[in-house]
Amino acid sequence: MPEENQNEAVAAPLATIASLNQHEGKPVTLRGWLYNLRESGKLLFPIFRDGTGTVQGIVPKAAVPPEVFERVRGLTQESSVMVTGRVRADKRAPGGYELDVDNVEVLQRVSEEEPFPITLKEHGVEFLMEHRHLWIRTPRQSAILRIRAEIIKAARDYLDDNGFVLTDPPILTPAACEGTSTLFPVDYFGDEAFLTQSGQLYIESTAMALGKVYSFGPTFRAEKSKTRRHLTEFWMVEPELAYATLDDLMVLAEEFLSFLVQRVLTRRPLDLKVLGRDTAKLEAVKPPFPRITYDEAVAMLNDAHARGLLEQKFEYGNDFGSPDETYLSSQFDRPVMVHRYPAAVKAFYMEPDAQNPNLALCVDVLAPEGYGEIIGGSQRIASYDLLKKRIEEHHLPLEAFSWYLDLRRYGSVPHSGFGMGIERAVAWICSLDHVRETIPFARTLNRIYP
Ligand code: 4AD
Ligand code: MG
């Protein structure tokens, strides 16, 4: 704040829209942008936004100097402004407050010749994605990004407060984790390296060092999938625990997810309101979550097919497709944990079920309301010999996994972990149609701009 404005600043201290409740009946200065302007006779209704929310201002012609009235009247969408006014509680206002505007100082007025491209009318998704750097200013998109931040913070808080140590795995890696077909290659000083698909193998080693660990970072999949659930770059939070079984992992997954949802409900109610989210559905998300086996899930799918609810007949032994997951997850009011898939459709590192070695001790957590898989995890193979055999069966380069096999040479223990894709969790919690709106700049099969 420049020196000469200090007196004025004391009279109308800086405030954010989210904190207007602390200034009821008092003058404040907001720094933000014009979102919209309505005119009704001798009244102007500018809506301002400042990154923390939006607030409607009221400017009666009779209440302000003529030049202020004209300045507000001439404002264009997304012009940057400093606004002073008095905060007034109003039950009808979405945030509970309105602003009786005294003055508006314009920092940069957007010209009529080049208006802000994203108007209040409908735009196509391609156009919006092309203008993503501007689209994120609109109330819905801003609300989603604030909820994303809240989910990330909640995930970290939960793990930090429950004895997990954050250990950051490398992003440049020499080998695959989740299968070789989906790797992004990188030239590493003449050698071929890859962008990581998951921190898992590395945090298995930090778990053997520290007990309970997690990683949180970007992961990459060169999948040629164009679904509403797939990004090529996404953020994954992965807890990994020494001395933990599949059952322990399922308990962690339900507590962790419930914590995230309840945190968003308590800390981001206004943003959920902006999105029109049915919060009753989120309130139901509390432990325990239903647990069903892969076999039980298949029986449900067959039954749905027989009743004409699912087009495709499900072949036992396959992994579930999107329509299958959508159907399964829509059968429950909270996330459902599907465990013990056929080992053949899952990753090489999963511990087989002692009762039936054709099954893997793994779990996929499917979010309700048709969202499908948001968490994938498993108990890991503890036996050196079995792990080596699996690496060979999957035609993976044994030398590259030598260090990973060391974890089974030196004090191997049962251990388990899972990965949750942040964007899938955000899409579900915000009730969005597509993961492209859950991250500031989505990377998909056909988009790497802006
Ligand atoms: O099921 P995935 O492939 O599991 C793993 O990567 C394990 N190594 C994790 C572990 O056990 N530590 O991926 C985990 C989660 C999925 O459930 C999903 O939420 C998300 O990551 N995910 C994606 N999100 C967006 N776009 C994609 N292409 C994704 N692929 C996986
Ligand atoms: Mg998975």
What are the pocket residues of ligand 1 if the criterion is a CB atom closer than 6 Å to any ligand atom? 177-178, 198, 200, 221, 223, 230-231, 234, 236, 238, 373-377, 417-421, 423-424, 435
Q: Answer whether the bond into residue 174 is a cis peptide, omega within 30°.
A: no
Between the alpha carbon of residue 160 and those of residues 116, 152, 157, 360, the distances in Å are 42, 12, 5, 29
Kindly list the distances between the CA atom of residue 355 and the CA atoms of 4, 260, 340, 377, in Å, as whole numbers in the listed order.
Answer: 78, 34, 11, 19
Ligand nearest to the CA of 361: 1
In the chain, count of helices (H) and strands (E)? 14, 18
The DSSP string of 216-259 is EEEEE------STT--SEEEEEEEEEET--HHHHHHHHHHHHHH
Q: Measuring from atom 18 of ligand 1, which residue has the nearest CA? A: 421
Ligand closest to Cα of 237 equals 1
Ligand nearest to the CA of 230: 1
Per-residue pLDDT tens over the stretch 62-77: 999 999 999 999 999 9
CA 332 – ligand 1 centroid, Å:
22
Its pTM stands at 0.96
CA–centroid distance, 330 to ligand 1, in Å, is 20
Distance (angstroms) between ligand 1 centre and the Cα of 432 equals 19
- The dihedral over CA atoms of 196, 419, 435, 197, expressed in degrees to the nearest 10, equals 10
Pocket test of ligand 1: the residue of 183, 373, 416, 444 to mutate, having most ligand atoms within 8 Å of its CB, is 373
Long-range contacts formed by 443-450: CB under 8 A, 24+ apart? 443/231, 443/232, 443/233, 444/226, 444/230, 444/231, 444/232, 445/223, 445/224, 445/225, 445/226, 445/230, 445/232, 446/226, 447/129, 449/130, 450/130, 450/131, 450/132, 450/133
* Mutation test residue for ligand 1: of 164, 198, 223, the one with most atoms within 8 Å of CB: 198
pLDDT of residue 174: 87
For the CA of 373, the nearest atom of ligand 1: 17
CA of 375 to the centre of ligand 1 (A): 7
Q: Whose CA is nearest to atom 29 of ligand 1?
A: 230
The H or E element spanning position 125 is helix 125-130
Contact (CB, 8 A) for 390 and 375: no
- pLDDT given at position 179: 66
Nearest CA to ligand 1 atom 4: 376
Residue nearest atom 17 of ligand 1, based on CA coordinates: 375
Alpha-carbon span 45 to 314, nearest angstrom? 56
**Tokens 């079984």, residue?**
245
- Mutating to test ligand 1, I would choose from 178, 195, 257, 424 the residue with most ligand atoms within 8 A of its C-beta, which is 424
pLDDT by 10s per residue, the chain, length 450: 454 445 555 689 999 999 999 999 999 999 999 999 999 989 999 999 999 999 999 999 999 999 999 999 999 999 999 999 999 999 999 999 999 999 999 999 999 999 999 998 999 999 999 999 999 999 999 999 999 999 999 999 999 999 999 999 999 998 766 667 789 999 999 999 999 999 999 999 999 999 999 999 999 999 898 899 999 999 999 999 999 999 999 999 999 999 999 999 999 999 999 999 999 999 999 999 999 999 999 999 999 999 999 998 999 999 999 899 999 999 999 999 999 999 999 999 999 999 999 999 999 999 999 899 999 999 999 999 999 999 999 998 898 899 999 999 999 999 999 999 999 999 999 999 999 999 999 999 999 999
Count of residues in the chain: 450
Distance 420 CA to ligand 2 centre (A): 9
Protein residue whose Cα sits closest to atom 27 of ligand 1: 230
Measured in Å, residue 440 CA sits from the centre of ligand 2 at 23
CA of 394 to the centre of ligand 2 (A): 17
Q: How many angstroms is it from 235 CA to the middle of ligand 1?
A: 9
Residue 234 CA: nearest ligand 1 atom is: 25
Spatial contact of 76 and 115, defined as CB atoms under 8 Å apart? yes
DSSP helix, strand, coil percent of the chain (3-state; round to 5): 35, 25, 35
Question: In whole angstroms, what is the distance from residue 17 CA to residue 46 CA?
Answer: 14
DSSP letters of 147-187?
Answer: HHHHHHHHHHHHHHHTTPEE-PPPSEESS-SS-GGG--EEE
Q: Is 331 exposed, middle or buried (0-12, 13-18, 19+ CB in 10 A)?
A: middle
Position 400 scores a pLDDT of: 87
Q: Whose CA is nearest to atom 7 of ligand 1?
A: 419
The whole-number pLDDT of residue 1 equals: 46
CA 329 to chain centre: 19
Ligand closest in space to the Cα of 366: 1
Contact (CB, 8 A) for 375 and 253: yes
C-alpha 348, offset from chain centre: 27
